[in-house]
Amino acid sequence: MKLDVNVLRYLSKDDFRVLTAVEMGMRNHEIVPSELVDRIAGLKHGGTYKVLKNLLKYKLLHHDRSKYDGFRLTYLGYDFLAIKTLVNRGVFTGVGRQIGVGKESDIFEVAQEDGTILAMKLHRLGRTSFRAVKSKRDYLRHRSSFSWLYLSRLAALKEFAFMKALQEHDFPVPKAIDCNRHCVIMSLVQGYPMVQVKQLQNPETVFEKIIGIVVLLAEHGLIHCDFNEFNIMIDDDEKITMIDFPQMVSVSHQNAQMYFDRDIECIFKFFRKRFNMTFQEDRDEADETEVEVDENSRPSFYDITKDANALDRELEASGFTKKEQNDLDKFIEGEMEKSEDSDEDEESDDEEETCESNEEENLNEMKSLKLQEKEQKSSGGVEEEAELDDNEKGESSGDEAGRDEELDKKLGKQRRRAMAAARGGRKSQSSRNTYKDKGGRSQNSKIHNNMSGGW
C-alpha cells in the first residue's frame, strides 16, 4: 500500500483519536469491536461511527464482519500514527520520496525544519516475501500469539537499540535520531549499495575493511546474520557504512558459528565474482602441488576473542540473556563450583522431593475415598454396605500388619488400599444405579406409600 502523506491534511483530531482507540483495542483484540472503539474514543453524539466511515475511505482501517462487527489498523493507518507523533515531537516537518524498499521495510526521505535530510525506515513485516519471520527471528520469545504490526514495532525497537549502541562504540553505522512504533529515524547515508558498484579503486582495501567489521562485531559479542552486498553502503571515497541489523544475534547463540561463516562466505563470494579477486584458498584448490595455506585468509569463529565489554549482554541479543552472563561471571569468579558429588546430591534431593509429593498425593486420595465411603454408607444400599465392610476390614488388617514395618512398606500398602477402595467405590456406585433401575427398595417404598395413601 502506497504511503500518501497528503491525506494527513484532511485528518482531524477526532480521526487520530479514533485511530488511537483502535490501536489500544488491538492490544488484546485481533479485531476490535465497534462498541469498544466508541467507548475508548469517547466522542459525543455518535461521532465515532462517522469518523470510522471516513477512515475506511482512506484505507486507514479494515472492516471485518466475519465473526462480529469490528475494525483493525492497516499499515497505512499505523504509518500515520507514527508520523503524526514524530512531527509533534519536532523530529521532522515533511516527508519526501521513497528511496528504498526491501522484503521487510520501506525507506523514505524526511526533511527537518532547517533543511537537513534524514532517512525514515518503516518496518513492514508480514509481506508475502517474508512471512516466515516467526521461525527465523525471535521477536516473540515466549509469546504464542502475534500480529504483524506488533512484530514490526518490536523489530524497529530492536534495530534502534542496536544502531545506538554500535554508534557509541564507533562502528560505521547511521546515526540514530528517534523511534516511534514501527518507524526509525536515522541519518541519511551519502552513498550507494554495494550491489550497485561495478568498479573499485582499491578492492583489496575495501575487502579488508568489510571483513574487519565482521570480526570486530564478533569481538563485541554480536553477529550481523545478514551481512551481504545489499546491506553495505559505500560512498565515492570508498567509505563503508553498515545498515539493516534488527536480526543480530549473540556469539553465544546456538547457531552463531553458522551465521558468522555465512556472513564471511557472502563477502568472499561477492568480491570473487564482481571484482575477480583470488584468495589463498582459491590458489590452493587450483594448484595441484602442495602449497602452504595461509591461515589468516579466512577468519575463524573460534579464533575470535570476545571483548570484556560485550554488547550482547547490554542489548540482550538473541541467544544470550543477562541471567546467562551473570551465571558466567559467577563461574569465572569461583562462586559457582560444581562437582559430580553435588550433582548426585541434587539428584537424590529431587528423588526425595518426588517421594514426598507422592506421599502427599496418596494421603489426599485416602481422605477423598473415606469421604466417599461415608456418603455411600448414608445412602443405605445393601450391596454398598457389604462392600464397604470388606474395605474397612481390609484397612484394619492392613493397619495392624503395617505397624511393625518400615515407612516405605506402609506407604506401599496405603497405595494398594487406595486403588482397591477406588475400584470398590466404582462398583458400589454402579450397583446402586442398577438396583434402582431394576425396581429395588426405593421403588418398592414409593409403591407402598402410594398404596397406603390410597387406603
Q: Tens of pLDDT along 16-33?
A: 999 999 999 999 899 999
Q: What is the DSSP string of 201-258?
A: S-HHHHHHHHHHHHHHHHHTTEE-S--SGGGEEE-TT--EEE---TT-EETTSTTHHH
| Residue carrying the nine cell digits 457389604 | 386
- Residue 392 confidence (pLDDT) above 50: no
**Domain membership of residue 30 as a residue range:** 1-89
Segment 318-345 mean pLDDT: 48
334 CA to centre of own chain: 33
Q: Which of 252, 253, 227 is nearest to 240 (CA)?
A: 227
Residue 34 located in a structural domain: yes
> How far, in Å, CA of 151 to CA of 85, rounded?
19
User: How many folded domains does the chain comprise?
Assistant: 1
Q: Which helix (H) or strand (E) holds 395?
A: helix 382-402
Q: How many residues does the chain have?
A: 455
Mean pLDDT, the chain, as a whole number?
A: 76
- Rounded to whole angstroms, how far apart are CA atoms 253 and 260? 11
Q: Which residue has the higher pLDDT, 141 or 78?
A: 78
CA distances (Å), origin 395, targets 285, 336, 392, 403, 425: 83, 50, 5, 12, 14
H/E element, 283: helix 280-286
pLDDT of residue 434: 44
User: Which of 7-11, 129-133, 422-426 shows the lowest per-residue confidence on average (mean pLDDT)?
Assistant: 129-133
The answer to whether position 10 is within a domain reads yes
Classify residue 188: in a domain, yes or no.
no
Rounded CA-CA distance 158/139 in Å is 9
Coil, strand or helix: which one is 381? coil
Q: C-alpha cell of 50?
A: 462517522
Residues of the chain with pLDDT > 70, as a percent, come to: 63
* Spatial separation of the C-alpha atoms in residues 243 and 252, rounded to whole Å: 22
Question: Which one has a higher pLDDT value, 242 or 317?
Answer: 242
Average pLDDT over residues 178-193: 95
Q: 238 in a domain, yes or no?
A: no
* Residue range 246-275, pLDDT digits in tens: 888 888 888 899 999 999 999 999 999 999
Q: How confident is the model at residue 160 (pLDDT cuts 50, 70, 90)?
A: very high
How large is the greatest C-alpha to C-alpha distance in the chain, in angstroms?
123
Higher pLDDT, 50 or 280: 50
Global pTM reads 0.65
Confidence at residue 335, expressed as pLDDT on a 0 to 100 scale: 44
Question: Residue 247: its pLDDT value, please?
Answer: 83
Task: State which of 3-12, 148-157, 235-244, 381-390 shows the largest mean pLDDT.
Answer: 235-244
Is a pLDDT exceeding 80 seen at residue 112? yes
Q: Specify the 3-state DSSP secondary structure of 373.
A: helix
Decide if 118 contacts 92 (C-beta within 8 A).
Answer: yes
Give domain status of residue 209, yes or no: no
Annotation marks residue 282 as catalytic = no
Active-site residue, selected from the candidate residues 14, 138, 226, 284: 226
Q: Residue 9 domain-assigned?
A: yes
Tell me the Ramachandran region of residue 316: left when phi exceeds 0, alpha when psi lies from -120 to 50, beta otherwise.
left
In a domain, 408, yes or no: no
4: domain CATH number is 1.10.10.10
What is the tens place of the pLDDT at every residue in 336-364?
Answer: 454 444 444 544 455 444 445 555 555 56
In a domain, 84, yes or no: yes
